[in-house]
Amino acid sequence: MRFREWLSRHDPGYSALRRASRAAIVMPLLFAFASGVLRNPDVAIFSAFGSFAMLLFVDFGGPPRERAQALAALAVVGAVLVSLGTLASQPVWLSAVAMSVVALVVLFAGSVSSVSASASTALLLAFILPVTLPGTIASLGPRLLGWGIAAVVCIVAVTVLWPAPAREPLRGPAVEAIRALAGRLRAESAFLLSDGDPALVADRDRTSGEAGAEVAALHEAFLAAPYRPTGLSTPARTIVRLVDELAWLDSVMTQFERYARRSSAVAEPTHAAAWTVKSAAADALDEGALVLAQHGADSSVLEAALRRLAQARADVEAAMLAQPMTDGGSGGAPEAMVTILDPGFRAQELAYAVATVGTNISLTARAERRSWWQRMLGRQPEGVSGPLAAAAERASGYVGWNSVWLRNSIRGAIALGLAVLLAKLTGVEHSFWVVLGTLSVLRSNALSTGQTVLRGVLGTVIGVVLGAAVLTVIGSNVAVLWIVLPVAILIAGVAPSVISFAAGQAAFTVVLVLLFNIIAPTGWTVGLIRIEDIALGCVVSLLVGVLFWPRGAAASLRRALSDAYRESIRYLEAAVTYGVGPRDADGSYAGELRAQATRAAAASRRLDDAFRTYLAERGAKRRPLAEVSASVTGVAGVRQASDAIAELWRGQPPGDRHTADARGALNDALLKLETWYSQLAEQLVARGALPEPVPSDPTMVARLAGAVLASQATSTDMHDVSTAVRIIWTADYLEVVSRLESVIVAPVRVLRDDVAPR
């Protein structure tokens, strides 16, 4: 019982044990069949290592059908790489160049999808093995046969042998977060509509805390994966958007509640319409959670709820425009007029945030309901780009020297190319061990690589000692070696995840000692060759780590933050300009707005990768989630506000002539934001003194309100009034971005002072 508890803590869901158990069954059987029945060494080696790659080096998530499809795609791409590797195995210079090119392509392709990222090691092995083993056209057939046998058997094994439950790291936490947010809305509404009944205070506070905790748990699950947990399938792309959207919705609810607790005029038309929005938003969230909890659920009820929410949102605007923008008790003061508009802004802000979440859930369900034929034809739900377009957009966002992913891909390509060159020039007996050693210990900076080198070599030495001890006991009894081999494979599959990297290297070394003694008994001395080869590969990794971007992830994260804030604030500027500046006559999105939105999203993805690398380098000291997460999520806040401003002006006719003064005040506020965030970006890279948050300008509210009152007095066109109201709402969104400054600065100061990975 104690062992099971220990294993469940170190291997949640028994995923490592599941993979290792399959490999322990499949790999010996394939190796025995190829070497004993087919009697072909090429088939034996490629079937054994192919099964090792497809069962131990990858662990695709999602429903069973998607896992099988991903494994089949891996098999096909792997067969191509086996062919290319065989053809490029001679001469030496061609092998090294081909290894670098293939490594760059495979590693960089991981930026497109977490599926391709998790398969990168298996794909590289499919090329490393044939390119380091000299072969000809004649050897291509047996090698492909071995790889193909492994692929077919592995697909069956993954499907039949201890099949894994559907693993979707974001869906479950997203469902719980949505339910908690819906409960928060209902509890807050019940409290306020009861005129502040003290009996409902505990329920309001409890649901608020639960919602915040569930949103935080979703973000933690998002960061827990080594890669951004999204693929090219439509459901994978839509679900991952919920992470930022639900965090934004949580902050919107907080602001709504703060306003509502100050407000007492619940009987006014605008306030009544605002409460209708709140009720409709809670209904939409409840329906969204039900739909997201199932695969391919019927989303018609959710879509009906979203239509009711849209109508409630329109009613808020109509109620605002119908009442006079003056207050008899205040003589029509601009500040009083802004107070009248405030509930409308809060309601439409909440409605937009909930509608964004609900729309993504609806798209997810519609994509999952597609027939097999529609999937084959690449038909997407309306409003969603195809996988090829999404892949091209993502890949283009990682092209640039500020991209951590591109740097890591280049570093890995150089290291693997050098390892192939060195292994072939030195004539070591098992050259592919050199390349595998290079691949296994290369990290994002010299310090981490050096530490992994020591663990890798130490683990290999321990493995040689253990292998020698096993062979001393067994002797040359091949039958016993066959019996021990599955046990060794099982331990080798579990050890890296459950114990440590060094333990994994030791167990894998024992497997190789056993395997090569079954092929041609040479005793434990084969382990000495492995030590030599692994050490050679580790030296290559360490050298490349020192020469190429050795500073680690802290500096990269600062640059990524700087770049992300620059692009996000440019997107904010483009959204505001689109709303109050010259636009297309039909009100459609301008090309510059779309282009800047794409650039901001790409910078955000690069920041996400840099943050993951930063967390991984810091090991057990995971303080960044508490200290730096606010600075990272601040980028998402700026982008979400920009999205909301752009959507606020969608379909609106060009601005009227009565709001020039209001535009001037709006531009002043935007300029202050641009200046502050530009200084933040510059100082992040320079590690200088960060700018202090800029307090709100009280005169801007009066200028905007005065312009709105003037426009109502001089115009009878409701479009003029609507435009003026949207200008004030735009200013409210800019105020939201301004409030982020104080949230960002303190944790960024911690990051700025954190130079070296620990």
Residues 6+ apart with CB under 8 A from 276: 312, 315, 316
Looking at residue 748, what is its pLDDT? Answer: 53
Token duo for residue 537: 């590969």
Look at 34 and 556; give whichever has higher pLDDT: 34
| pTM of the model as a whole | 0.74
User: By the 8 A CB rule, do 549 and 754 touch?
Assistant: no
Looking at residue 381, what is its pLDDT? Answer: 60
Residue 657 pLDDT class (50, 70, 90 cuts):
very low
Cα angle, residue 143 at apex, residues 142 and 146 outer, rounded to 5°: 85
- Asked whether residue 301 is assigned to any structural domain, the reply reads yes
Looking at residue 445, what is its pLDDT? Answer: 57
- Asked whether residue 391 is assigned to any structural domain, the reply reads no
Residue where one domain finishes, among candidates 149, 167, 185: 167
The model's pLDDT over 478-510, given as tens digits with 9 standing for 90+, comes to: 888 888 889 998 998 888 888 887 888 888 888
Looking at residue 196, what is its pLDDT? Answer: 62
- Asked whether residue 280 is assigned to any structural domain, the reply reads yes
Looking at residue 703, what is its pLDDT? Answer: 66
The whole-angstrom separation of Cα 23 and Cα 48 is 9
Question: Residue 651 burial (CB < 10 Å; 0-12/13-18/19+)?
Answer: exposed
Looking at residue 524, what is its pLDDT? Answer: 64
Looking at residue 329, what is its pLDDT? Answer: 39
Count of C-beta atoms within a 10 Å radius of residue 293: 15
The model's pLDDT over 321-342, given as tens digits with 9 standing for 90+, comes to: 666 555 443 444 555 556 666 6
DSSP 665-712: HHHHHHHHHHHHHHHHHHHHHHT-PPPPPPPP-HHHHHHHHHHHHHHH
Average pLDDT over residues 168-189: 86
Residue 626 pLDDT class (50, 70, 90 cuts):
very low
Q: Which residue has the tokens 């093995």?
A: 129
Q: Which of 252, 281, 119, 261 is nearest to 196 (CA)?
A: 261
The type of residue at 330 is S
Q: Are residues 526 and 644 both part of a single domain?
A: no
Q: Are residues 241 and 315 both part of a single domain?
A: yes
The whole-angstrom separation of Cα 148 and Cα 164 is 23
The model's pLDDT over 229-268, given as tens digits with 9 standing for 90+, comes to: 665 566 667 777 888 888 888 888 877 666 555 554 443 5
Q: Which of 730, 435, 714, 460 is nearest to 574 (CA)?
A: 730
Look at 205 and 720; give whichever has higher pLDDT: 205
SS3 state at 167: strand
Residue 152 pLDDT class (50, 70, 90 cuts):
very high
Look at 73 and 712; give whichever has higher pLDDT: 73
Q: Are residues 298 and 256 both part of a single domain?
A: yes
Looking at residue 145, what is its pLDDT? Answer: 95
The type of residue at 544 is V
Which DSSP state fits 35? I
User: Phi/psi of residue 82, each to 5°?
Assistant: -60, -40
Looking at residue 140, what is its pLDDT? Answer: 92
The whole-angstrom separation of Cα 466 and Cα 489 is 14
Residue where one domain finishes, among candidates 381, 408, 438: 381
How large a percentage of the chain has pLDDT more than 70? 72
- Asked whether residue 65 is assigned to any structural domain, the reply reads yes
Average pLDDT over residues 8-29: 85
Question: In terms of residue numbers, what domain contains 435?
Answer: 419-547
The whole-angstrom separation of Cα 305 and Cα 283 is 7
Q: Which residue has the tokens 């009066």?
A: 702
- Asked whether residue 669 is assigned to any structural domain, the reply reads yes
Count of C-beta atoms within a 10 Å radius of residue 470: 18
Query: Residue 620: pLDDT above 80?
Result: no
Q: Which of 200, 303, 204 is nearest to 256 (CA)?
A: 204
Radius of gyration of the chain (CA): 30
- Asked whether residue 268 is assigned to any structural domain, the reply reads yes
Looking at residue 624, what is its pLDDT? Answer: 41
Distances (CA, A) of 70 to 22, 152, 346, 394, 686: 17, 13, 44, 19, 43
CATH number at residue 321: 1.20.58
Cα 279 to chain centroid distance, Å, stands at: 32
Q: Are residues 223 and 152 both part of a single domain?
A: no
Which DSSP state fits 655? P
User: Phi/psi of residue 167, each to 5°?
Assistant: -110, 110
User: By the 8 A CB rule, do 334 and 295 touch?
Assistant: no
Least confident span in 175-179, 541-545, 573-577:
541-545
Token duo for residue 257: 């509640």
The whole-angstrom separation of Cα 278 and Cα 285 is 11
Looking at residue 43, what is its pLDDT? Answer: 92
Least confident span in 65-79, 187-201, 530-544, 575-589:
575-589
Average pLDDT over residues 155-182: 85
Looking at residue 169, what is its pLDDT? Answer: 77
Which DSSP state fits 62? B
Query: Residue 668: pLDDT above 80?
Result: no
Q: Are residues 240 and 160 both part of a single domain?
A: no
Looking at residue 671, what is its pLDDT? Answer: 84
Q: Are residues 178 and 73 both part of a single domain?
A: no
Cα angle, residue 246 at apex, residues 243 and 251 outer, rounded to 5°: 125
Q: Are residues 349 and 210 both part of a single domain?
A: yes
Q: Are residues 150 and 187 both part of a single domain?
A: no
- Asked whether residue 758 is assigned to any structural domain, the reply reads no
Looking at residue 144, what is its pLDDT? Answer: 95
Residue 99 pLDDT class (50, 70, 90 cuts):
very high
Q: Are residues 181 and 256 both part of a single domain?
A: yes
Looking at residue 195, what is its pLDDT? Answer: 66
The whole-angstrom separation of Cα 673 and Cα 733 is 12
Query: Residue 182: pLDDT above 70?
Result: yes
How large a percentage of the chain has pLDDT more than 90? 12
Mean residue pLDDT across the chain: 77
The model's pLDDT over 538-562, given as tens digits with 9 standing for 90+, comes to: 777 777 777 665 566 667 777 888 8
Cα angle, residue 742 at apex, residues 334 and 693 outer, rounded to 5°: 70
Looking at residue 586, what is its pLDDT? Answer: 46
- Asked whether residue 397 is assigned to any structural domain, the reply reads no
Average pLDDT over residues 207-228: 81
Q: Are residues 300 and 368 both part of a single domain?
A: yes
Q: Are residues 332 and 440 both part of a single domain?
A: no
Token duo for residue 541: 């990794």
Query: Residue 6: pLDDT above 80?
Result: no
Q: Are residues 149 and 49 both part of a single domain?
A: yes
User: By the 8 A CB rule, do 465 and 457 touch?
Assistant: no
User: By the 8 A CB rule, do 188 and 260 touch?
Assistant: yes
Number of compact structural domains in the chain:
4
Torsion angle in degrees (nearest 10) through CA of 271, 273, 279, 285 = -110
Look at 652 and 351; give whichever has higher pLDDT: 351
The model's pLDDT over 579-595, given as tens digits with 9 standing for 90+, comes to: 776 555 444 456 778 88
Buried (b) or exposed (e) across 500-510, using 16+ Cβ within 10 A?
ebbbbbbbbbb
Look at 149 and 519; give whichever has higher pLDDT: 149
The type of residue at 567 is E
The whole-angstrom separation of Cα 275 and Cα 37 is 75
Q: Go through the chain and tell me how many residues it has.
A: 758
The model's pLDDT over 418-436, given as tens digits with 9 standing for 90+, comes to: 888 988 888 777 777 787 7
Residue where one domain finishes, among candidates 497, 530, 547: 547
The model's pLDDT over 102-131, given as tens digits with 9 standing for 90+, comes to: 999 998 887 777 677 778 888 999 999 999
Look at 365 and 662; give whichever has higher pLDDT: 365
Average pLDDT over residues 706-720: 56
Token duo for residue 227: 């890669």
